[in-house]
Amino acid sequence: MIRRYQLSLLLSLLLLVGVGETAVPSAAAQSDTAYQVIQLVNGFRAGYGLPPFQVNSALMASAQNQANYMAANTIFSSHIGAGGSTPQSRANAAGYIGYVSENIVGGTGMTPNQGLVWWENSPVHYNTLVTSRYIEAGTGYATNGSENFYVLVVGRPSDAPPVNTSSDNSPEPLFITPIELAEPGEDGSIVHIVQEGQALWSLAAYYNVNIADLRLYNNLSENAFLHPGDRVIIQLAEGQEPPPTPTPPLTHIVREGENAWVIAAKYNLPLTDFLWLNGLDENTFLQPGEEVTVRLAPGQLPPPTPTPITTHIVRSGQTLWDIALTYGLSLDDLLAYNNMSANDVLQIGQELRVRPPATPTPILPTPTLVPTKQPAPVTQNAPQIEVSVTAVTPTLLPTAQPTPQPPPSNKSGQTTATSVIALAIGTTIMAGALIVWGRRQLT
């Protein structure tokens, strides 16, 4: 009996160990999910014409360490990590020299794509996604079995590490508490009653609808705040026409921390169009309070089309890949234009061609004309002589004739018809020959 009990206990422990092992993903699975996050983020940036974040191994390690710490301790309250570390101190400890900022999101059963949706809908986290200040990134993923945690660390390299590593300008972490979805009404509409701590962007992410549609359905401005008890229309009733779309603004007032990249993405404009509308280049620094154009008014003449940029000067931290993406080129095209290979190292200040070199128009050899026999020229002013040809019946001159003999006769004494026919034929042939001869002489 005791042995059976011990055997049963041992089997139970083995089963528990097996369950525990399946609950925690392997290091390889964690790494795959972390790289999936960075791919999703770079795909989002590419949709706005932004260069991708360059993956940095030190930032990857820093992000993964924080994700592990949060999963092990179920912590969402701040960016503080093990031993009171900050995003900056963790990045420096992992070997990164430069400035960083960190996005964090977590929730029950959250997928990488859902995590990205939360960052997209949160204004402060959205700014991290479309930043041009930071050019490198690392991501981390961990789970405690029920809740998943995702960390994005973006960085800008420098020659020396920051002096103060305790400061942190990262946006607040996002822990997504489950929101109870409202059921559709009899007319097909969905109305959500706002609870404590819920915002419009979080409702948009949870119901998987466009935040612009929520503003339109509920006549809310971009800066509107929700209060507990507010009724928010999530879905219109069946057959109900949406309110008229408000006229999009023509200008935008620059806010603190905004740059050309952020504003262009906000209004769904390619960066090149935004720069063209305002006569700017990508290095122009925008001042808070400055008014910039984001759309032409009806009938407004556009500014003159700028001369296409043909070369680019390499700046610190830039790679062949993000230069190619900035100008809408494939990496192969950029390499071909500059006679380079993918392993070439860029130098700061190096000039790269970003448009194909002009192809010179080939000069064809002048063909040599071979002289040919030409007909005699006809003088246009020469008098035209019209020759009229009249058939002339030739007069046969008499010739000496032998003494006529009586025609032969047959036995009955009559002249034969054959002799008469032969004489007539001969006379006709001679007359035709004379006519031909006469015509040749005239021509």
pLDDT on residue 434: 54
DSSP-H helix ranges across 122-251: 123-129, 200-207, 211-218
Residue 423: is its pLDDT beyond 60? no
**Is 149:104 a contact under the CB 8 Å cutoff?**
yes
| Lowest-pLDDT range of 23-37, 198-212, 319-333, 381-395 | 381-395
Q: Is the pLDDT of residue 115 over 60?
A: yes
- For position 325, what pLDDT does the model report? 66
Average pLDDT in the 79-108 region? 85
Rounded Cα distance, 118 and 121, in Å: 5
Burial class of residue 137, CB neighbours in 10 A (0-12, 13-18, 19+): buried
* pLDDT for the residue numbered 2: 42
Q: Which of 176-180, 221-225, 427-431 has the lowest mean pLDDT?
A: 427-431
Q: Are 184 and 63 in contact (CB under 8 A)?
A: no
**Does residue 319 surpass a pLDDT of 60?**
yes
Q: How far apart are CA 306 and CA 276, in angstroms?
A: 7
SS3 content of the chain, % helix, strand, coil (to 5): 35, 15, 50
User: What pLDDT does residue 257 have?
Assistant: 74
pLDDT at residue 12, rounded to an integer: 43
Q: Are 121 and 204 in contact (CB under 8 A)?
A: yes
Which residue did the predictor score with more confidence, 60 or 49?
60
| pLDDT of amino acid 369 | 61
**Rounded mean pLDDT of 436-440?**
54
Q: Which of 39-43, 110-114, 417-421, 438-442 has the highest mean pLDDT?
A: 39-43
What pLDDT, in 10s, does the model give residues 157-170? 887 767 666 666 77
What is the residue-averaged pLDDT of the chain? 76
Kindly indicate the confidence band of residue 290, based on its pLDDT and cuts at 50, 70 and 90.
very high
Q: What pLDDT digit, counting tens, does each position of 351-369 carry?
A: 999 888 876 656 666 666 6
For position 358, what pLDDT does the model report?
A: 72
Q: Of 64, 121, 221, 312, which is closest to residue 72 (Cα–Cα)?
A: 64
* Per-residue model confidence (pLDDT) at position 387: 45
Q: What is the Cα–Cα distance from 227 to 221, expressed in whole angstroms?
A: 15
Integer Cα distance of 266 and 126 in angstroms? 10
**288-300: b (≥16 Cβ within 10 Å) or e:** eeeebbbbeeeee
pTM to 2 decimal places: 0.49
pLDDT in the model for residue 10: 44
- What letter does residue 288 receive in the DSSP assignment? T
Residue where the block lists tokens 């006549």:
219
| Contacts (Cβ under 8 Å, ≥6 apart) of 49 | 264, 270, 271, 272, 328
CB 271 within 8 A of CB 303: no
